[in-house]
Amino acid sequence: MVSVLGHSPAATCLNLGFFTCKVGTALRGALSQGDLSEEKVEAGRQPHEICDEDSFGTVIWKETPAGEAAAVRCPRNATGLILRRCELDEEGVAYWEPPTYTRCVSIDYRNIQMMTREHLAKAQRGLPGEGVSEVIQTLVEISQDGASYSGDLLSAIDVLRNMTEIFRRAYYSPTPGDVQNFVQIISNLLAEENRDKWEEAQLMGPNARELFRLVEDFVDVIGFRMKDLRDAYQVTDNLEADDSSVFVVGTVLYRNLGSFLALQRNTTVLNSKVISVTVKPPPRSLLTPLEIEFAHMYNGTTNQTCILWDETDV
């Protein structure tokens, strides 16, 4: 159905209703829709190594060789492409994988993403800007309705990452409302109705570590931008001076993160809430360790293990 337009081991080919090969960052070659119907797959492809034309929902997926991805445009309320790969099973027979929506971004999310990038560009040039609080407030309202596509989650994460960078710059300090909205957005994104979107997004996007780092980076910004602190002094011979008299401690409790994590083994479950603690600057080790008791969320589990992830050791 599609002829090879030129061979390159670094080429990535997409079936867009016309055939496109991507080499590095450049797009090469395109066949018109009329040409496509007349062309045949070459390069020694066997019929069993090609996924037949298939209808999935309202989308018709064109015949595609194994190892390549077909693509169609996202629905009208979104930008980007829906991708669907053709792969070979253990017996060497081609089959379609489910379509993925990681590159579909709803118009509302896309608009917020573009506005945030514009604000970041101004901040990087040292220019004062207005409207940052309004942008983050809008994302709160949009995310409350859930994500339509996994690409919406990736777009929102990009917005929060850029917001964190904006608040590091001169002229931009997060207000208490901005802090509350940032936390609310994370909570909205982790809502139960977004679970299937997270499962798909983790195939190419943020995993648990990146989500933790995003929140921890924002806590770091809050500490850096703290204002109106009242200094407190206590003088006594019984206190040993520390390297730093002021610490910023951020504690985040994730109530349902376990159901969103892509664990390596299907038989492994995260059986408690997750707590993340950030201390800046890092203090000396405590003589008496802090003990936290976690209640189990599910009964009947075996081989329980308590896991501690110390970012300072990574």
Q: How far is CA 108 from CA 96, 114, 141, 257, 295, in A?
A: 31, 10, 11, 26, 39
Per-residue pLDDT, 83: 94
Question: 3-class SS at 238?
Answer: coil
Topology (CATH level 3) of domain 11-96: Hormone receptor fold (4.10.1240)
| pLDDT higher than 50, residue 6 | no
Report whether pLDDT(18) > 70.
Answer: no
Q: Is 199 helix (H, G, I), strand (E, B) or coil?
A: helix
Name which residue leads in pLDDT, 43 or 78: 78
241-289: pLDDT as tens digits: 455 566 777 777 777 776 666 554 566 777 778 888 877 777 777 777 7
Q: Which two tokens stand for residue 94?
A: 């081609």
Angle between helices 107-124 and 132-143 (to 10 degrees): 160
> Of the given ranges (23-27, 106-110, 224-228, 237-241), which has the lowest mean pLDDT?
23-27
Which residue in this structure is represented by tokens 């299937």? Answer: 196
What's the pTM?
0.71
Q: Residues of CATH 4.10.1240.10 domain(s) within the chain?
A: 11-96
Q: What is the mean pLDDT of residues 177-193?
A: 91
């492409």: which residue's tokens?
81
User: Rounded to an integer, what distance in angstroms lies between the CA atom of residue 139 and that of residue 184?
Assistant: 10
Domain with CATH 1.25.40.610 in the chain: 104-227+243-313
Which of 75, 66, 40, 222 lies closest to 149 in space, CA to CA? 75
- In the CATH hierarchy, which top-level class contains the domain 104-227+243-313? mainly alpha
Are 107 and 152 spatial neighbours (Cβ–Cβ below 8 Å)? Answer: no
Region 128-139 average pLDDT: 91
70 in Cβ contact with 86 (< 8 Å): yes
Report whether 278 contacts 224 (CB < 8 A). no
Q: pLDDT at position 228, please?
A: 45
Task: For the beta carbon of residue 56, count every other beta carbon within 10 angstroms.
Answer: 13
Q: Is the pLDDT higher at 61 or at 6? A: 61
Cα–chain center distance at 170: 27
Q: Average per-residue pLDDT in the chain?
A: 76
pLDDT band for position 305 (cuts 50, 70, 90): confident
Run of H or E residues at 12: strand 11-15
> What tens digit of pLDDT does each residue of 206-228 get?
666 777 788 888 888 887 766 54
